[in-house]
Amino acid sequence: MAGEKLRERVMTEYSPVQVAPICRLDESTIESLARSYATTRPSFIRLNYGLQRHAGGGNAVRSITILPTLTGDWNLVGGGCQLSSSGTFKYNEALLERSDWIKPGTRTVNMTALGDALVDLRDPPVKAIVVYNSNPATIAPDREKVLRGFLREDLFTVVLEHFQTDTADFADVLLPATTQLEHEDIHKAYGHLYWMHNARSIDPLGESLPNTEIFRRLARAMKLTDPELFATDETLMREALDHEANHRQGLTLERMREEGPLRLHVSTPHLPFVEGTKLPTKSGKIEIESDVVRALGLDPLPNYFPPLESEERSPELARRYPLNLISPPAHTFLNSSFVNVKSLRRVADKPTLQIHPEDASTRSISSGAKVRIHNDRGSFRAEAIVTDAVRPGVVAAPSIWWGKMSDDAAEGNNGSNANNTTAQHLTDIGRGASFYDNLVEVETLI
């Protein structure tokens, strides 16, 4: 029944002639891709982190994952699709995450909306922030609002870091944290099926401590008494593995320490959604029509959700800011993680903006020109690269550069990067960040 509903929707709402202007592809290309996918067995789709960074990203991912159900590729070796293998790993969420400690009525903050949380002093206001494993003054959307929040004199900011990041510059207290070379840990994965043990290679340098030890000392200083707050790293690793699936498979900390990475005891070849497998859904099957999605107030069938910042949803905004900016990772330094490494910065060279020749021509922009990318939220600067590697109407700025290392940082401010223009929109499913739902205009700098 759900399959027939989906078929009817596709035939009446998403024929090639109807989706061609949405995809900006001609009908023949769409038909050729559909025919190739439908007639090639096995077929595999590799999703990646970027597709979901639009307001309709959840629906986009869900729609694609339904395709192998229609073609039967979930039953075939080498078929199906993958975004992440992390869900295959089982760990004791009840012991480690303790969501039951969040009392009813407690204000919680989605990090994607950190700017609003720091600037909007609702009751109760955010009066203190502890930052670890992140650099929000660089990576959080609507960066100018985030920085205004960090500049509040009544905000107490503690940062656990390895380097003097943009966020560390705002710290009232800056604590040195260990790298993974200096502490023991275990890791799951998002691209393979092996639990991994991270052995400590060297003693912690200087006064650096693992995040866990810093939190233990903080709890002690605050005179908290819950025993869970003082669990050792050894205990935490064992608790993470304290799950029936790991017990059944003999996956223990001792084995990882002795043997190295251990593969999950899943089938070889691994066919997680093969016909007959009981899945963690209400029906135990792949659900083309989902009550879980319906409960979110969304269409239970796979559907197209136009970007919030687009001609379809906001035509006036699109007239003022006609270019869609995407900011994929600069592969030299993996988002903001290693921008401080001089050798990697030399390879990346400088912040750049890729722009299609058609869009460059109408704006009198040539390769090598200094340009300003802006919208109502803010702006940043980059050097233009005129190329047909991006399509007309789209510009791409490999990111994320620390603001302090941008050209305009020398002017006595906190500098800028692509997130000076990004919005705090939340995605339809998962309430994640929608960095690429971002309309801008580009102009040359005189």
Structure tokens of 135? 């650099």
Please give the average per-residue pLDDT across 45-62, as a whole number.
91
Give dist(CA 391, CA 111) in Å, integer. Answer: 31
Tell me the per-residue pLDDT of 124-137, one tens digit each, with 9 for 90 and over.
899 999 999 999 99
Mean pLDDT of the chain: 93
Q: What is the pLDDT of residue 29?
A: 97
Q: Is 80 exceeded by the pLDDT of residue 267?
A: yes
Q: Is the distance from CB of 237 to CB of 185 less than 8 angstroms?
A: yes
Supply the Cα-derived Rg of the chain in whole angstroms: 24
Give dist(CA 279, CA 162) in Å, integer. Answer: 42
Which residue segments constitute the domains of the chain, with CATH numbers given? 2-84+268-295 (3.40.228.10), 93-263 (3.40.50.740), 315-444 (2.40.40.20)
Q: What is the pLDDT of residue 411?
A: 62
- Among residues 326, 342, 350, 299, the alpha carbon closest in space to that of 419 is found at 326
Residue found under tokens 């669990």: 231
Tell me the per-residue pLDDT of 356-384, one tens digit each, with 9 for 90 and over.
999 999 999 999 999 999 999 999 999 99
Q: What is the pLDDT of residue 412?
A: 62
Q: Give the confidence band of 393 by pLDDT, cuts at 50, 70, 90.
A: very high
Q: Provide the residue type at 357 as one letter.
A: P
Q: Is 70 exceeded by the pLDDT of residue 260?
A: yes
Structure tokens of 121? 């002093």
Q: Is 90 exceeded by the pLDDT of residue 142?
A: yes
Query: DSSP H helical segments within 151-300, as ranges?
Result: 211-221, 233-241, 244-249, 253-259, 291-295
Percent of the chain with pLDDT over 70: 99
Give dist(CA 329, CA 397) in Å, integer. Answer: 9
Whole-model pTM: value is 0.92
Give dist(CA 58, CA 73) in Å, integer. Answer: 21
Q: Is the distance from CB of 285 to CB of 279 less than 8 angstroms?
A: yes
* Greatest mean pLDDT among 327-331, 342-346, 374-378: 374-378
Please give the average per-residue pLDDT across 106-114, as a whole number.
93
Structure tokens of 155? 């905000």
Q: What is the pLDDT of residue 88?
A: 92
Paired residues of 324 in beta bridges: 394, 439
Please give the average per-residue pLDDT across 327-347, as a whole number.
87
State the pairing for strand pair 156-161/173-176.
Answer: parallel
Question: E strands, 100-208, where?
Answer: 128-131, 156-161, 173-176, 185-187, 194-198
Distance between alpha carbon 371 and the CA centroid of its chain, in Å? 27
Which helix (H) or strand (E) segment holds residue 23: the answer is: helix 16-23
Please give the average per-residue pLDDT across 270-284, as a whole number.
91
Q: Is 90 exceeded by the pLDDT of residue 48?
A: no
Q: Is the distance from CB of 172 to CB of 158 less than 8 angstroms?
A: yes
Tell me the per-residue pLDDT of 58-100, one tens digit each, with 9 for 90 and over.
999 999 999 999 999 999 999 999 999 999 999 888 888 888 8
Return the ∠ at Cα 283 (arms to 280 and 284), rounded to 5°. 40
Give dist(CA 317, CA 311) in Å, integer. Answer: 8
Q: Is 80 exceeded by the pLDDT of residue 253?
A: yes
Please give the average per-residue pLDDT across 106-113, as a whole number.
93
Tell me the per-residue pLDDT of 184-204, one tens digit each, with 9 for 90 and over.
999 999 999 999 999 999 999
- Among residues 241, 64, 19, 215, the alpha carbon closest in space to that of 131 is found at 215
Q: Is the distance from CB of 105 to CB of 134 less than 8 angstroms?
A: no
Q: What are phi and psi of 422, to 5 degrees?
A: -75, 160
Tell me the per-residue pLDDT of 408-443, one tens digit each, with 9 for 90 and over.
876 667 899 999 999 999 999 999 999 999 999 999
What is the DSSP annotation of 307-354?
-SSSTTT-HHHHHHS-EEEE--B-TTTTTTTTTT-HHHHHHH-S-EEE
Q: Is the distance from CB of 53 to CB of 396 less than 8 angstroms?
A: no
- Residues 6 or more apart whose Cβ sits within 8 Å of residue 377: 142, 144, 145, 420, 421, 422, 423
Percent of the chain with pLDDT over 90: 80
Sheet holding 173-176, edge to edge: 128-131, 156-161, 173-176
What is the DSSP annotation of 74-90?
GGSTT-EEES-SGGG--
